[in-house]
Amino acid sequence: MKYLPLNPEIFIQNRKRFTEKMEKNSIAIFNSNDELPANGDSLHPFKQNADLFWLTGIEQEDTMLVIFPDNPDTKYREVLVLVRPNALKEKWDGHRLTAAEGESLSGIKTIVWLDALEGMLQPWLHAAETIYLNTNENDRKANQVPVRDYRFAADMRNRYPLHNYRRSARLLKELRAIKSPLEIEVLQKAIDITDVAFRRLLQFIKPGVMEHEIEAEIWHSFLMQRSAGPAYGSIIASGDRARTLHYVSNNQECRDGELLLMDFGASYGNYAADLTRTVPVNGKFGRRQKTVYNACLHLHHYAASILKPGISIIDYTEKVGDEATIIFQKIGLLKKTEIKNEDPENRAYRKYLYHGISHHLGIDVHDLGTRTEPIKAGMVFTIEPGIYIEEERMGVRIENNFWITKNGNKDLMKNIPITVEDIEGLMKRSNHSTVNP
């Protein structure tokens, strides 16, 4: 890992919260993700299972966690399972965690080597009545690959058919949605790294620069600050390409007079920042560009004013849609007749704002959480309204990250330039001056 070690109290607290939700005399088992093949003998970069990381802070492959709060042998109520270090393998693949390192990162005192687990796990399972197994139940997932969690679940149910089974994912969806102050510290670090990169970009962008050159600057700045890199594929979209929500080709020229939409965020300690800013390629917003940008910024501020405990994301999105309808009429995008005759299932404003306003954020950029239940204090959301005008070949989106508090929210990106004046002021600096990473 490139980042500095995180406070293990994060994971100690997370396991405590999970354990408190478990049924009596139950055992929970978590697996790391697979190492996935690319082509030939190469592998895709390893990405740890988010649930396992949330509980342990361990990024290493072939890791497991066993939680058995009622284990008669108190030593084995929390067990971290690691691959036994092997000197020959380490010559090829690098260092593997020692028991002491595993304990330091996770706060778990009992470490068991993977090659010794089988004989120990069986009597624990025999003593338990209920087995919690993990699955990836993110509502946005569309994956048919039989990954390790599902293979392991099938094997357990085949070998132990008379146990009661529970889904860890149901508990984790609730628990992971509420971020502790210690988690927010890590997320804030990812956001601060993103802030530095954005300010660097404002001094780099100019007519003629290529989208991929801007993306390269993001990578450079992130890596220089101990980030592992972008938390997701960066969107660097100039001109009409900004209307494509998940544009990641990033291979075209940024031209004089265009707006440039940049959606990117650093990963730090496996927590994801998620920033979007739209800036003028030549450093100066045109009159119409400024009008549309400020309309989007108004929607951003309005959304922030109503995103608080008690409202659901569905109801919140509907209210932002009501405000967008008013604003879009003011800036000449909608007519009264279009609004009067709109389809309630496909409202008129959706022609120019065709995505959601907010999503949960955390270890996953689209993190676990509900859309239908009331928002609770501790959740983290993006706020990212956009305005996309096909006739004007223009797309604008503005996105910050917010931590929900007891009575409202806290803008974790409040220090990142967002107004027309701040962006233009920073872009006036020389494109060739020396800048920080």
Confidence of residue 435 (pLDDT cuts 50, 70, 90): very low
Residue 305 covered by a domain: yes
Give Cβ neighbours of residue 12 (< 8 Å, ≥ 6 apart). Answer: 107
Residue 23 covered by a domain: yes
SS (H, E, C) 276-294: EEEEECCCCCCHHHHHHHH
Domain endpoint, select from 126, 156, 177? 177
Q: What is the mean pLDDT of residues 334-353?
A: 97
**Count of the separate structural domains present in the chain:** 2
Domain endpoint, select from 177, 209, 230? 177
The pLDDT value given to residue 436: 46
Q: Residue 136 sits in a domain of what CATH number?
A: 3.40.350.10
Q: How, if at all, do strands 64-67 and 164-167 pair? A: unpaired
If asked whether residues 221 and 320 sit together in one domain, one would say yes
pLDDT of 433 higher than 80? no
pLDDT digits (tens, 9 = 90+) for 112-160: 999 999 999 999 999 999 999 999 887 777 677 889 999 999 999 999 9
Mean pLDDT of the chain: 95
Q: Residue 387 sits in a domain of what CATH number?
A: 3.90.230.10
Instruction: For residue 57, give its domain range.
Output: 9-177
Looking at 39-88, which runs of residues are DSSP E strands?
64-67, 78-82
If asked whether residues 397 and 269 sit together in one domain, one would say yes
Give Cβ neighbours of residue 332 (< 8 Å, ≥ 6 apart). Answer: none
Residue 437 covered by a domain: no
If asked whether residues 237 and 312 sit together in one domain, one would say yes
Residue 1 covered by a domain: no
Domain endpoint, select from 114, 147, 177? 177
Phi first, then psi: what are they for 238, rounded to 5°? -100, 145
If asked whether residues 164 and 194 sit together in one domain, one would say no
Rounded Cα gap, residues 202 and 260, in angstroms: 11
pLDDT digits (tens, 9 = 90+) for 210-256: 999 999 999 999 999 999 999 999 999 999 999 999 999 999 999 99
If asked whether residues 24 and 98 sit together in one domain, one would say yes
If asked whether residues 375 and 233 sit together in one domain, one would say yes
Structure tokens at 232: 């997701």
If asked whether residues 143 and 117 sit together in one domain, one would say yes
Confidence of residue 395 (pLDDT cuts 50, 70, 90): very high
